[in-house]
Structure 1
Amino acid sequence: MNTDAGRTVPAGDPSDRIAGVASVIDGDTIEIHGQPIRLSGFDSPERGKTCAGTNVYQRAALYLSDQIGTRTVTCNSTGKDSYDRAVATCRVSGADLGDLMVGGGWARDWPKYSQGAYADAEVRARAARKGVWNLECPDDLWGNRKYD
C-alpha cells in the first residue's frame, strides 16, 4: 500500500491512499500536503450562497474543519476531476467525511457519484432539520445542479 500523500493516484487503484493532516478549502474540498482533493459523492453549498443571512458556504467549510480537527485524514482516490483535483472518499478516525457532512446537514448526497451512499444520512438530516435544512434557503443554493 502506498501512503505517499503527495503522489498522483491512478484511477481505479483503491490500494493507493493519500493521508495526512488536511486543510479545508471548502465544504467538499480539502488539501493534504499541497494536493487538492474533491471529496466524492456529495456536494456542499456554493461560494457566496446564503440562507436567512447565514453564509452557508462558509458554515459548511467550518463544519468540515471541526469534524477533521488536527487528526490524520486518509483518502482512497478514484482519479482526477476536471480541475485536476484528486477525487476521493476520505475518513477521519474511521468516520466517512461524506457521512459527517451530509449527516450534519451541510452537504447533500449526489447519487450520480455516490450511488446513494449518503441518501439515508440526507433523509435523517432533513428530518432533524440539521444544518441548511434548518434554514430558509434559495432554490439555487446548490448551484442549479441536478442530483438524480
Structure 2
Amino acid sequence: MALKSRNRYARRRKPRSFVRLFLDLALAIAILAALAFVAGHERFGTAETRSGMPQVVDGDSLTLGGARLRLIGIDAPELGQTCVGPRGDYPCGRQARNALAELIGGRPVTCEARRRDRYDRLLASCKAGGVDLNHAMVERGWAVAYGDHDDAERSARDAGRGLWAGSFERPQDWRRIHGGMAEVSHDGLSAIGDWLRSLFQGKMSGQGTDGGETG
C-alpha cells in the first residue's frame, strides 16, 4: 500500500513540474521584455550629438573631438583586409576607408549616438552635408548591413557595387580568422547587452567612488 501511495503521489507531481517550467519560461520572457522596454525607452531615449571635422579611421569608424565613433548598423572591411575584385586581389579595407572619406568630402559631420559598445565607442548615425554616411556606405557597397540597412545591402549586391563586384569575407568572419576586435551585430539584443554592461560598469564605478570617499 505504501508503494502504491508513493506512485500515485509521483504521478500527481508531474503536471506540477510542467506548470512550473511553463511559469519559469513566462517569467524569463517577461524579464527580457522589460529589459527591452527599458533599453529602448530610457537608456537610449536621450541622444548624444557630436559635430565637427572628423578623422576617418576606417570604413566604419571616426574620431571626432577626441571621441571614438563607430557607425551603427554597418560593418566595413578591416583596414588590413583584402578582397577579390574583377582584376584580382585589392586592399578593400583601405578602399572602404577612402570611400568614407570621399563621402564626407572634407565637410564637417554631425553624429547622433544613443549608446556605447563594449569598447566604449559611441555607436552613431552620422551625416555630412545631408548625406547619411551609414546608409550610403552600405548602398555603395563598401560596407555590409550589421543590424540595419538591409535594403541598401540588397541594392548594392544586386547592382554589383563596391565589394559586391567580386568576392569577399564578411568583416566579422575576417576578424574571427585573422584576429581583431570581436563585435556583435548592432541589433536589439546587442542593445540590451550594451545597456546591461553600462549599468554594471556604472554600479562598479559608483562603488569605487564611495569607497574612495570613505577611505
Q: Same fold (TM over 0.5)?
A: yes
Q: Residue in 1 aligned with 2:105?
A: 69
Residues 50-86 of structure 1, C-alpha deviation per residue, up to 9 Å, x if partnerless?
1121111110000000000211111111121111111
Return 5+ residue gaps in structure 2 as ranges. 1-42, 177-183, 188-215
- State the superposition RMSD in angstroms: 2.0
Pick the aligned partner of 1:132 from 160, 163, 179. Answer: 163
Following TM superposition, by how much is the alpha carbon of 1:133 offset from its aligned partner in structure 2, in angstroms?
0.2
Q: Equivalents in 2 of 1:121, 1:50: separation in Å?
A: 22
Residues 3-38 of structure 1, C-alpha deviation per residue, up to 9 Å, x if partnerless?
xxxxxxx85312x31001111001110011121101
Give the structure with the higher percent strand.
1
Matched-pair contact (CA < 8 Å) for 2:76–2:142: yes
Q: Residue in 2 aligned with 1:6?
A: none
Amino acid at match of 2:45: G
Matched-pair contact (CA < 8 Å) for 1:11–1:80: no
TM-score, scaled relative to structure 2: 0.56
- Does structure 1 residue 25 correspond to structure 2 residue 78? no
Q: Equivalents in 2 of 1:29, 1:63: separation in Å?
A: 12
- Does structure 1 residue 60 correspond to structure 2 residue 89? no
Q: Equivalents in 2 of 1:126, 1:54: separation in Å?
A: 18
Q: Residue in 2 aligned with 1:12?
A: 45
Q: Percent identity?
A: 37
1:78-93 → structure 2 map (5 Å cutoff): 78-93=114-129
Secondary structure of the corresponding residue to residue 78 of structure 2: coil
Give the structure with the higher percent helix.
2
Residues 75-98 of structure 1, C-alpha deviation per residue, up to 9 Å, x if partnerless?
111121111111111111122111
Higher-Rg member (1/2)? 2
User: Would the alpha carbon gap of residues 110 and 143 (structure 1) be closer, same or farther in structure 2, given more than 3 Å must change?
Assistant: closer
Q: Equivalents in 2 of 1:101, 1:141: separation in Å?
A: 15
After superposing on structure 2, the runs of 4+ consecutive aligned residues of structure 1 that deviate more than 2 Å are: 145-148
Q: Equivalents in 1 of 2:44, 2:53: separation in Å?
A: 23
TM-score, scaled relative to structure 1: 0.80
Matched-pair contact (CA < 8 Å) for 2:63–2:69: yes
Q: Residue in 2 aligned with 1:36?
A: 68
Return 5+ residue gaps in structure 1 as ranges. 1-9
Q: Residue in 1 aligned with 2:83?
A: 51
